[in-house]
Structure formats: structure tokens, C-alpha cells
Amino acid sequence: MTRTPKNNCNFRLTVRDGCVFKEVFLSRAIDRDSLIALGYYGSVARLNNRLTKLVGGRYLRRIAFPTRPTSCQSVYLLDREAIDIVTRLVDFDRCEIARVARQEPTRAFIEHSLLIVQLRLLIEQDARRRGYKVETFGHEALVRHEYVEVVRGKQFRRIVKPDAYVAVVHDGVRHHMFLEADRANVSIAQERRSYERYARYANGVFADAYNADSFNVCVITLGGGRRVSHLLNQTKNIEQPKFRFATLDAVRREGFFGAVWESSGICSPTSPFVEPVEVSR
């Protein structure tokens, strides 16, 4: 994919640059350390140099995002010169990619996007440590699903928007999970409506879309035990799918697969896994 940029910047784009643009588009916002952790660059110095060029060429935007009262973190978003490149790399309408490249992100948007990237890295790191295989990580933009549900002869447009989808294989078994990152800033009533959308999705639509019978919804909250209890109560009347709740602190401390997960209808803490489905050989 090596080519000369349209602007006057004195460098050539590479295949890796295109992969970075795609990653930034799907993640919406990402920091430098996460790009390194995801394997795009092995050297901080080389990455800093390249990001400076890509920002100068208007392929990426860099914003200073406050992390503490006296410090900031550089966060990268897609910019206008990368629109056509990303359009060739992903199955999205160019207008949608352009909208993402031109939007002005809010603080909440950036915090949420960075949290999803952090969860992805925690999952992949813990999976490697335990010998699991992360077969698929699907960003929200790739796994949101609009469909039509027929109820008593009437059609209703439905949508399910997971923060991410993860398929993990362990001991020949594939586990399907949707991730929800709870920053503890949304009302319990709103969370309950989100869980009800998953309940409708589990009624045959998921099976048709993913060729699988069942899935879990793993909710990771920035809140504490009380927040987990409140969220857990919203799922007690939902038979399918199964919901798992854990705090971000526990996931960081014990690993995604080793953390204590709470689930309605299960007396003792459990794992994030759903009932196993054997992988076809």
C-alpha cells in the first residue's frame, strides 16, 4: 500500500500505516501505549516519530486528554486524509467514515473508547497467560446489529449495540461473549433496558447471526460491589442470555478469566464463560 501522500509531507505511507488507520477508526480513540501493546510498533521512539508524521499529514488527529489535574495523555483519532484509505480497508460507507473523522469527541466518548481498548488488552494478555485463544475481537462498529422482530403480526425495528464481541477458544471449546463497559454514570433503568435488548437478541436472532446457540454478556464496571449488586438485580428475571458482572479493579488484579464474576441465579462466583460449545475440527 506504499504511496505518496496527497499533501506535501515528505514521507510515504506503508501497509502498517493503513492498519493503524483502520485500528483508530474501529477503536474511535486510542493512545500510543495501546498501539504498541497491540503490536503495531516495537519501539516507542519509532512510533513517536511516525505518529508525528501522520498527524502532520492530517491522517491522524492528536489531542491532549487530561488524565490527572496536572498531566495529559496523547490520544489519537482519525483525520480527513485517512478517510479514503480506511474506506478501502473496511466494509463501511465512506460517509460514516468521514463522520467519524470529523466529529468532535466528548470527554465521555474518549474515556469510554480508551476503556474498551484497555479491556481488549486485558483479555488478550490474560488469554495468552492461560493458553486460551482469542479467536475474534469485534469492535462495536462491526457487531452492532439492526434487525426486525415480528410480534403478533407487527414488525418492530430492534438494535443491539455491544461495546465489543469476543470469541475465545479453550480446550477445543468456543465461548461467545459480548462486553459491556459500565462507567457507573448511567442510570440503573437505562442499564435494565440494555439487558432486555440482549434478552430479545438471544431469542433466535443471535443464533442466526453467529451460528451459535448461546452467549454471555460480561459487564465490567468502574463501580464497586454495590454497583454490581444493583446491576445484578436487573437480570434476575432474564433466563437467556447469562450475565456476568465484575469490577474493573478485579479484572486488572486477577485477570479477565481469573476475576470473580457474579451472575444471577448462581450462588457462588463464576467464570465469564458460557456453557461450552465444542469447536468443529
Q: Which helix (H) or strand (E) holds 69?
A: none
**Per residue in 5-49, pLDDT tens?**
455 467 899 999 999 999 999 999 999 999 999 998 888 899 999
State whether residue 279 is helix, strand or coil: coil
Instruction: Please choose, from the candidates 132, 114, 153, the residue with its C-alpha nearest in 3D space to the C-alpha of residue 35.
Output: 114
Q: What is the reported pTM?
A: 0.89
Mean pLDDT comparison of 2-11, 41-50, 64-73, 246-255, highest-scoring range = 246-255
Between 109 and 265, whose confidence is greater?
109
Answer left, alpha or beta for residue 106, where phi above 0 means left and psi between -120 and 50 means alpha.
Answer: beta
What confidence score (pLDDT) does residue 280 get? 47
Neighbouring CB atoms inside 10 A of 79's CB total 19
Sign of CA dihedral 95, 101, 106, 108: positive
**Per residue in 81-104, pLDDT tens?**
999 999 999 999 999 999 999 999
Is the pLDDT at 69 greater than 80? The verdict is: no
Between 218 and 281, whose confidence is greater?
218
Q: Cα torsion for 152, 153, 157, 161, to the nearest 10°?
A: 40
Is the pLDDT at 108 greater than 60? The verdict is: yes
pLDDT, average across residues 211-240: 93
pLDDT, average across residues 125-148: 95
Q: How far apart are CA 271 and CA 262, in angstroms?
A: 8
What confidence score (pLDDT) does residue 277 get? 38
Sign of CA dihedral 131, 178, 183, 228: negative
Instruction: Please choose, from the candidates 27, 87, 84, the residue with its C-alpha nearest in 3D space to the C-alpha of residue 58.
Output: 84
Q: How far is CA 154 from the centre of its chain?
A: 33
Is the pLDDT at 60 greater than 70? The verdict is: yes
Neighbouring CB atoms inside 10 A of 110's CB total 19
Is the pLDDT at 220 greater than 70? The verdict is: yes
What confidence score (pLDDT) does residue 269 get? 56
Buried b / exposed e over 50-77, threshold 16 CB at 10 Å, is bbebbebbbbbbbeebeeeeeeeeebbb
